[in-house]
Amino acid sequence: MRHFGSNDSPAGPADWRTLKLLLPYLWEFKWRVLIALSFLIGAKFAIVSIPIVLKHIVDNLNQPKAVLVVPLALLFGYGALRLASTMFADLRDIVFAKVTQRAIRRVGMDVFRYLHSLSLRFHLERQTGGVARDIERGAQGISSLLSMVLFSILPTLIEIGLVAGILFVKFDWTFAAITLTVVAVYVTLTIVITEWRTKLRRQMNEMDSKANTQAVDSLLNFETVKYFGNEVFEAARYDESLQNWEVAAVKNQTSIGVLNVAQAFVIAIGMTIMLILASRGVVDGKLTVGDLVMVNAFLIQMFIPLNFMGVIYRQIKQSLTDIERLFTLLDVPQEIKDKPTARPLELKGGEVRFVNVHFGYDPDRQILHGVDFTVPAGHNVAIVGASGAGKSTLSRLLFRFYDVTSGEILIDGQDIRDVTQASLRAAIGIVPQDTVLFNSSIYFNIAYGRPTATREEVIEAARAAHILSFIESLPKGWETTVGERGLKLSGGEKQRVAIARTLLKNPQILIFDEATSALDTQTEKNIQFELKEISRNRSTITIAHRLSTIIDVDEILVMERGQIVERGNHRSLLAHQGVYAELWAMQQEARDH
């Protein structure tokens, strides 16, 4: 996954790409966008009209014999414009709120769906906390970006354009040129100094983190420091880090002053030049006192939002970076994809065949070497072997969490790479060795096997998994929360929930991956009977550690180092006196002791 810093150019290719990706999400409500823009423009017209009305008020009151009716009407107009500017701004916010929130929702949903479509390899390698933070910051970034661009940058640009136009029309091009020049210099200085400040801030944060890490590490190793009498040495090391932080902090604080002074300098020069020109016009009789007041009001009104340009610029840059990291999740390639011609799996009986399957999680580390076996429809085939032999890898390949390196896996004669993943996984149910549950109620976790199931069907599945009496004995019964990953339940209770969930799914092909390993002997015997019943007319693959649980299966496959080294039923394998017989003897001896 790519990582992005904050030293991109002010409007680099990545920023434009991010904006281009975001635009379709906004355009879903194009009429709301257009109405919001019209309110924005209306608000700015009202704001720009205020100094013009103020000019007429001053000019009317500056007459030798002021007629009170005229200024009164203008004063009411002044108040109406003030109200209109605020009202239009609020209406803009109201209209655009749905656009912002829907964009955040749709982007979040697209990323969430896409993450679920990625391969198991991605999810095993991902840093869950980092991905969650990228999604959270990206959503906040969308809100901040739209707020800054629509409610700060765009209104300011419109106001600057309107003011420059009015000054050009009412006075001459000099006023407009000076206004635009001052704004251009102001914005350029702000961006350049802000980029410099961002680097200084980053250095300060790094020094702060380093000093903090050093202090915590030293305190955690308090006894070691005491053993070697290195208190003075530790204090000197800490002070060195603090000195570096102090230098960076002073530079950062100084940069704020430099930015403020530069902004104030540009504003002061611009306003002084403009007022000198306006004053000269008043003296020459070309302009009125009201014109002078209007120019001054225009400049003050225009420079107020520009004062926040540094903060706004930094926030926009950060928002673009956060949104880009969010969209980067959508750039992660899908390792397992349905073919364009993929069709739903057609189940006839559920026969499963592995044909000369080779597979490795990494090219230089092969796990399976030419695995061949068949699970006839309605039969139960067990797979045994030492840890790392490749047993659980077979179930992952059957679910198509990974694609085989070579060979093929067939269900009723159909290559699983040629059918849709949804139909394939709907046909298979698994009770894994390591059961993970949602941090929700027991009812939710069992019903997750088939969310459309009735409550009676959920209860029946729990009864078949021998967990119903346990659930009903709990103070909150079915509404008992199981905790994160099901940690409030014991291993045996979690596995019985997993068995009930799979029973409820009612698939044609079953995989039991050490399904009863966490159960006590008596519960295991009870559930083994139920498992035999539910697998009677289903194709079943049983990955087992306790060989006593697979005596009655149709065929046993013994794996070593990714290969099937023996196959047959329990009796024939014992007679063969090979690997299986050794495993059986070891387990019998362990049980007797």
SS (H, E, C) 303-351: HHHHCCHHHHHHHHHHHHHHHHHHHHHHHCCCCCCCCCCCECCCCCCCC
Question: What is the per-residue pLDDT for 14?
Answer: 61
C-alpha pair distances (Å), 366 with each of 58, 153, 312? 88, 57, 53
Tell me the C-alpha distance between 30 and 26, whole Å.
Answer: 7
Report whether 245 contacts 201 (CB < 8 A).
no
Question: What is the per-residue pLDDT for 583?
Answer: 84
Tell me the C-alpha distance between 193 and 197, whole Å.
Answer: 6
State in Å, rounded, how far the first CA of the chain is from the last one: 53
Tell me the C-alpha distance between 282 and 260, whole Å.
Answer: 32
Residue 477's region, left for phi above 0, alpha for psi from -120 to 50, else beta, is: left
Question: What is the per-residue pLDDT for 456?
Answer: 92
Report whether 150 contacts 36 (CB < 8 A).
yes
Question: What are the residue ranges of helices labelled H in 149-230?
Answer: 154-170, 173-220, 222-228
Tell me the C-alpha distance between 149 and 127, whole Å.
Answer: 32
Tell me the C-alpha distance between 293 and 51, whole Å.
Answer: 8
Structure token pair of residue 212: 């903090």
Torsion over CA: 254, 259, 263, 265 (sign): positive
Question: What is the per-residue pLDDT for 518?
Answer: 56
C-alpha pair distances (Å), 125 with each of 210, 326, 407? 27, 18, 26
Structure token pair of residue 570: 């329990």
- Residue whose C-alpha is closest to residue 387's, from 544, 273, 234: 544
Helix (H, G, I), strand (E, B) or coil at 537: coil
- Residue whose C-alpha is closest to residue 143's, from 200, 96, 109: 96
- Residue whose C-alpha is closest to residue 337's, from 426, 392, 401: 401
150 contacts: CB under 8 Å, gap ≥ 6: 36, 40, 92, 96
Tell me the C-alpha distance between 128 and 276, whole Å.
Answer: 62
Structure token pair of residue 463: 């009864």
Tell me the C-alpha distance between 453 and 455, whole Å.
Answer: 7
Tell me the C-alpha distance between 541 and 511, whole Å.
Answer: 5
Q: What is the CA radius of gyration of the chain?
A: 36
Structure token pair of residue 49: 């009209």
Question: What is the per-residue pLDDT for 414?
Answer: 92
- Residue whose C-alpha is closest to residue 515's, from 551, 484, 541: 541
Tell me the C-alpha distance between 301 and 47, whole Å.
Answer: 8
492 contacts: CB under 8 Å, gap ≥ 6: 518, 519, 520, 523
* Residues belonging to the chain: 593
Q: Over the stretch 35-60, which tens digit does the pLDDT of each residue have?
A: 888 888 888 888 888 888 877 777 77
Bridge pairing between strands 352-362 and 365-375: antiparallel
510's enclosing H/E stretch is strand 509-513
CATH assignment of 1-169+314-335, given 3.10.620.30, 3.30.930.10, 1.20.1560.10, 3.30.9.10? 1.20.1560.10
Tell me the C-alpha distance between 198 and 194, whole Å.
Answer: 6
Q: Over the stretch 470-515, which tens digit does the pLDDT of each residue have?
A: 999 988 889 988 887 677 888 778 888 888 888 888 888 998 887 6
Where do the domains of the chain lie? Answer: 1-169+314-335, 172-286, 339-427+507-593, 435-502
CATH 3.40.50.300 fits 339-427+507-593, yes or no: yes
DSSP code at position 389: S
pTM of the entire predicted model? 0.64
Half-sphere exposure at residue 345, Cβ-oriented, CA atoms within 13 angstroms: 29
131's enclosing H/E stretch is helix 128-148
Question: What is the per-residue pLDDT for 443?
Answer: 92
Helix (H, G, I), strand (E, B) or coil at 402: coil
Structure token pair of residue 561: 């180092």
Question: CA geometry: angle at 57 spanning 51 and 58, to 5°?
Answer: 90
Question: What is the per-residue pLDDT for 409?
Answer: 92
User: What residues in the chain have per-residue pLDDT under 70?
Assistant: 1-15, 18, 62-71, 119, 123-130, 133, 205, 310, 485, 515-527, 530, 590-593
- Residue whose C-alpha is closest to residue 344's, from 256, 459, 421, 247: 421
Tell me the C-alpha distance between 47 and 45, whole Å.
Answer: 5
Q: Over the stretch 298-321, which tens digit does the pLDDT of each residue have?
A: 777 777 777 777 677 777 777 777
